[in-house]
A and B are shown apart, each in its own frame.
Chain A
Amino acid sequence: MPMEQKEIESLIKVSIPDAEVTITDLAGDNNHFSAHITSSLFDGKTRIQQHKMVYDALEGRMGGILHALSLKTTVKKD
């Protein structure tokens, strides 16, 4: 069963409170998403670390029921 867009967004915001999350349903099938996440907490971290923070926020769903989530992370500047 695919995850709801809102559920993805709220899970990310629990772990990364200042995250600005933009989710796009790529195929219109509620299953292939791209997420662009901007947060000041990414500052000083490598892309791998930033993406891992998001994967951790999704609590193991990535690669499982969330097969097709394409990620882009950006550091929020003041």
Chain B
Amino acid sequence: MNDHVSESIQSTIDSNDVVLFMKGSKEMPQCGFSNAVVNALSYLDVKFEDVDVLQNEEIREGIKVFSDWPTIPQLYVKGEFIGGCDIVKEMFETGELSQLFTEKEIAHTKKD
């Protein structure tokens, strides 16, 4: 991976509390796995930055190396890699996701 790709990814996760690297945009996800994470974040009213990897092949491949994670979507919260679709969905279902946002002091709506 080129340095400028890794720097660009680092700068995105440094300057946004919650970043989702995904296929498509949050308004129009292009993959069911990305859509599932958008839905979980939207349900909790979390503001997040979406990065559409389909618009940039370097980011699409670069983020997999950067996170050492083979699939997309990938969720970052305050610079920390949280996981892909399966992990985020599981955390959402158990309430851990909401708890994580509380711990990281990210504005969200708690729901039962």
| Nearest residue, chain A, Cβ from B85 | A70
CB distance from B65 to the nearest CB of A (A): 11
Q: Tell me what chain B mostly uses at the interface: helix, strand, loop, or mixed.
A: mixed
B70 A62 Cβ-Cβ under 8 A: yes
| Nearest residue, chain B, Cβ from A70 | B86
Which residues in A have their C-beta under 8 angstroms from that of B64?
63
User: What range describes how many residues of A lie at the interface?
Assistant: 10 to 19
- Complex: how many Å from CA A52 to CA B68? 9
One digit per residue, 1 when the CB lies within 8 angstroms of any chain B CB and 0 when it does not, for chain A 42-66 equals 0000011001100100001011100
CB distance from A23 to the nearest CB of B (A): 14
- Complex: how many Å from CA A47 to CA B92? 14
- Complex: how many Å from CA A60 to CA B83? 17
User: What range describes how many residues of B lie at the interface?
Assistant: 10 to 19
| Nearest residue, chain B, Cβ from A64 | B70
B70 A55 Cβ-Cβ under 8 A: yes
One digit per residue, 1 when the CB lies within 8 angstroms of any chain A CB and 0 when it does not, for chain B 67-87 equals 011111000000001011111
Which residues in B have their C-beta under 8 angstroms from that of A76?
none
Which residues in B have their C-beta under 8 angstroms from that of A63?
64, 70-72
Q: A interface vs B, CB < 8 Å?
A: 47-48, 51-52, 55, 60, 62-64, 70-72
- Apart from A62-B71, A63-B64: 20 A-B pairs, beta carbons within 8 A: A47-B83, A47-B87, A47-B90, A47-B91, A48-B69, A48-B81, A48-B87, A51-B84, A51-B87, A52-B69, A60-B70, A62-B70, A63-B70, A63-B71, A63-B72, A64-B70, A70-B86, A71-B86, A72-B86, A72-B90
Closest 4 CB pairs of A and B: A63-B70, A62-B70, A63-B71, A71-B86
